[in-house]
Structure formats: structure tokens, C-alpha cells
Structure 1
Amino acid sequence: MNAAVPTHLNVPKRLNARRSVIGEHPASFIDFYQEDTNIVIWQRKLNDALQESVARFLTTNTYFKSVMTVTPDSTYEAVIEALGRFDGADVICEDVALLVDMFCCLFELKRAGLRFSVLNQAMCPRFHVDKVPCRLITTYQGVATEWLADKDVDRSKLGAGNLGKVDAESGLYRSSRDIQQLNQGDVALLKGELWVGNENAGLVHRSPAVADKQPRLMLTLDFIS
């Protein structure tokens, strides 16, 4: 039996409330295809070599953004060209290439849209949903993406429905305790509004506030039509 939706939340009726799936292995990603799932999180710890490579890159790249279209076969060379050939760059590139390969394999894509950025402030500070089928997000260093479980959201308060109020005062969620957060290294698949059957059920999320002098290195992957 589905849990009852709290009566104080103005959530449009759907067959199933959306749930999260959290696992310690990328095999959990297959659950993304379940209708009642709108986020799948692979909880992983970055190995020492990858953390050291990321830290080395950030010491000389306070500002960085690269947007490109890649295939599983082209990712390594494309990313190393964007990052520059520093000591340890291959470790980052191999990891990104692995994620692209997994993403394309899971969704039977020939290519993906890749964005790799150093963020010194919140890119999307308001809670929102993405008008995409799916987005992969991972943070290699720094604070990671915040999100709200479907059961904790009053979707009528998204966008103009907030009536100009900040998220914490709009009624979008009941308490700051409802805000969940990915960890550094986690790889998450966020189901968006354009996934078939997921209309009005996209994952509600936002960029976290970035502490002074503690930039984020963030990767996203998207479908390419």
C-alpha cells in the first residue's frame, strides 16, 4: 500500500509517489527505469589518486568550465584536452570516461552532453526541476547537490508559485530537516520532467551554497537529441 500523502501538501495526484534508490554499486542505476523512482544514487568514495588529481587541478584552476558533446570513445581525449596535461590528469579523465560509458550504455545513447565546471557560487540556488529526461550529477570536490524527496514537496510552490518568497519561507517544504544532500563522490541520476511518465514528478533539487575558498568541481551528463 502506498503511504498517504500529507494533507497539508498540495501535491498533484499520481499513481505512485516517487522514491529514491540508494546503493553502493552502479548496478543500482537499473532501478532508474522503475516508474516510481526519480533519483538513483550510487554512493561511492573517491580513491586517493583521484582526490589528489582533483586537488592538483583546482590549485591552478580557480575558474573553469567546459561544455562538450562526447561519445564513450572520445571522452578521454576530449577531457584531457580541456583540463590540460598535468601530472595526474589521466586519473580524472579515466573516471569521467567511465561515467560517460556507463551513462550511454544504460540509456542506449551514442553520445552525451558533458559539462565540467569549477563553481565558486551556487549555480541554481533555488529548488527546481529539470526539463530533461535524465541528468547525471557528481561532485568531485566540495559540497554536493541538495534535493527533496517527493513526499516532502509541495510542488505548487515551485517557480512562480513561491510568490516571491525564498524557499525556506514559501511552503515548498516543511522543515530544513527535509533537505537531503549528496556526498562528494556520489554519482546520481536525476529523473527530469521530460522522462516519459514522469511529468510533474521530476526530482526537486538545487545547488548548495559554496563556502568561501572551497570551490566545487562538478560534472553533469545529459541526453543529446
Structure 2
Amino acid sequence: MRILVVEDERRLARAIGHGLEDHGFTVELAHDGETGLWKAREQDYDCVVLDLMLPVLSGEQVCRQLRADGCWVPILILTARGGAEAEAGGLDFGADDYLRKPFSYRVLIARLNALLRRTAPARPVDLVVGDLVLDPARRAVRRGTTPIELTRREFSLLEYLMRNAGRTRSKAEILDHVWGADFDREPNVVEVYVGYLRRKIDQPFGTGSIRTVRGHGYLMGDDDSGRPEPAATGDG
């Protein structure tokens, strides 16, 4: 399950992200309302954890705009504001649930699971590219009937590429969405992990699902030729 956490306190955002990842969620972070709104519009998330007091755009503005756009992703509000009036206000402008700071991770996980159970029937279960199938709920991958074991990071990378199948994604976009905006390593880590994925999902099967688009990035698609593409040494 993919969760977008929009929280301007970076240490808290990272702590929430690590806590959710430890419970099997795939997490992306945004640190201001404008970035959070853009990500929520551009990507498919199972839930958005949204702080109210954000720079650029407030959490309320983000929530109202998403609902006005017809985006009904579940939204869990995080805020230091207390009282029934504040909670009712959050629900009135389109949020699905409300959690006051400070909170326990146990309660946060329980609230998220409750939201996901309520919305699960309307959400497609599997991501499919050719005969490659990824099940976000079970965090399972298979090629045809053959299961494929992936690490957590490999799974997150594959999920991002499959959700964007048919669209080229740059190294910068992949780093931002899979590793997070605060990741400070060399972008070559993307090449390394694409190589890991190719060795697991393509090379044993003679396929080439992940293509290198020279000078642009990587493209996930069904390889009609049935032949694996040579591993890339770079985007350029």
C-alpha cells in the first residue's frame, strides 16, 4: 500500500515514514502543501497523511483542492489543534479521519488500516505489465506463475515503474518517489537497483520489461520482442 505523508517537520515526516515502512507500507514524503498537492494529483496513493499547518498551501487548501478535482483518496489529517470543533472542521472540508499530535504509531497504523479497509473494494488489486504481476496488498510479485522475491527497496522501485507503465521516468523522479526527497546519495543508485530488478524479473525469463530511454530515464513496458535489453550504464 502506498502512503503519501505531507508534513513540514522533516524529522517527524521521516519518523512517520520509517514507522509506516516497518509495517509494510510504501511511503513517499512531501514537506509543503504545494508539493503534496502535486504528488497526490500525479500519482496513485492508497491514503494521504496530511498535516494541517503547512507552508505554501495549508492542509485544508490541499484537501479542498483534491476533493474539488474529484480525487477521493482517503485523507487522514494530522494536527496539533485540539477540540471537537477543529476535528469537525477537518471532516467538513473533505478529510476522512483526524488524528491529534502527539499520537502513538499504534493508533496511526490502526486508523490507516481502518481507512484502507473502507476503501479497498474500489481499488484495483494487481498491477500488470505483460505477464508480470505485482500485488501491492500482499507485496508479492510473479512472472506468469513463477513467484519472484524482491527486497523492500526493489519492490518499491518496481511498483513505481509499473504504476507509471508506458511513461518514461527520470532518475531524479525515481529518487524522489522511491528513496525520498531527502536522500543524499549519488543518482547512480537508481542504475544499480534497476540492474538488480532486471536480474530478477527479466533475465531469467528472457524478457526486457524495463527499458532505458537514453538521455531521459527508464520506461516500464511490455517488451514485444521477447528479448532482454542490455543493462544500461547511464541515462545519457
> Could you state the TM-score of these two structures normalised by the residue count of structure 1?
0.22
Structure whose CA Rg is larger: 2
More contact order relative to length (CA 8 Å, sep ≥ 6): 1
Give the number of the structure whose residues are more often strand, by fraction. Answer: 1
